[in-house]
């Protein structure tokens, strides 16, 4: 009787190699699907001007310098002569609420340490001690009916974060008066310094 047909060894080897190749490719595709073929991109943070109580629009700046003596006046200028700052970034914003438009100056002052940052805040929050020169006062920004945010009628706000002092000055256009509203605007604008780091 004839025996069983001889196996085609070459055919079996090719089939086996084909199955192994399919398994490897499938595994590679599954790995890429699970883990992604590119590293995760960092998620961009929204700008600070639109993440609070009021929506602020940047109208001038940021303007950066390391010469705080030149960009200050009054007792504040004397303070900087004795204690030079490390950086100064200034900007102007506008915002509107209930039909009233306000101009807001934000200055971020980098000091050598937290002690001098607190001393700057203490000095500038007093009346008649001068301040950092805003972009309206130094004529960097001008426009029709622009309020003087450095006048005695302007509203002041400040805070210290580590070695940085943020100083905000705000006033309404068109001689509008609302002390409670302009104070809320100035306090809310303190967060804008997050966009001004040098």
Q: Give the Cβ contact number of residue 102 at 10 Å.
A: 25
Asked if residue 17 belongs to a domain, the reply is no
- Is residue 1 in some structural domain? no
Distance CA 67, CA 71 (A): 7
User: Does residue 146 sit within a domain?
Assistant: yes
For the entire predicted model, the pTM comes to 0.74
Is residue 53 a part of any domain in this protein? yes
Domain assignment present for 35: no
41-63: per-residue pLDDT in tens?
444 445 565 677 899 999 998 99
- Cα 21 from chain centroid (whole Å): 52
In a domain, 43, yes or no: no
Contact status, residue 151 vs residue 171, Cβ threshold 8 Å = yes
In a domain, 108, yes or no: yes
Q: What is the pLDDT of residues 62-95, one digit of tens each?
A: 999 999 999 999 999 999 999 999 999 999 999 9
What total of structural domains would you count in the chain? 1
Domain of residue 72 covers: 48-195
Asked if the structure places residue 60 within a domain, the reply is yes
Mean pLDDT, the chain, whole residue set:
84
């Amino acid at each position: 009787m004839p025996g069983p047909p001889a196996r085609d060894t070459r055919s079996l080897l090719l089939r086996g190699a084909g199955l192994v190749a399919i398994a490897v490719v499938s595994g590679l595709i599954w790995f890429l699907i699970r883990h992604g073929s590119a590293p995760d991109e960092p998620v961009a943070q929204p700008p600070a001007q639109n993440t609070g109580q009021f929506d602020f629009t940047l109208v001038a700046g940021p303007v950066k310098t390391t010469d705080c003596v030149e960009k200050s006046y009054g007792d504040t200028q004397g303070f900087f002569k004795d204690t030079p700052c490390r950086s100064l970034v200034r900007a102007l914003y506008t915002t509107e609420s209930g039909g009233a438009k306000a101009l807001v100056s934000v200055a971020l002052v980098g000091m050598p340490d937290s002690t001098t940052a607190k001393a700057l805040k203490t000095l500038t929050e007093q009346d008649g001690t001068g301040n950092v020169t805003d972009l309206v006062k130094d004529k960097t920004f001008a426009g029709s009916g622009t309020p003087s945010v450095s006048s005695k009628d302007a509203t002041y706000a400040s805070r210290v974060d580590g070695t940085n002092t943020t100083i905000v000055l705000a006033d309404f256009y068109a001689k509008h008066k609302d002390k409670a509203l302009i104070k809320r605007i100035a306090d809310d604008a303190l967060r804008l310094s997050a966009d001004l780091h040098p």
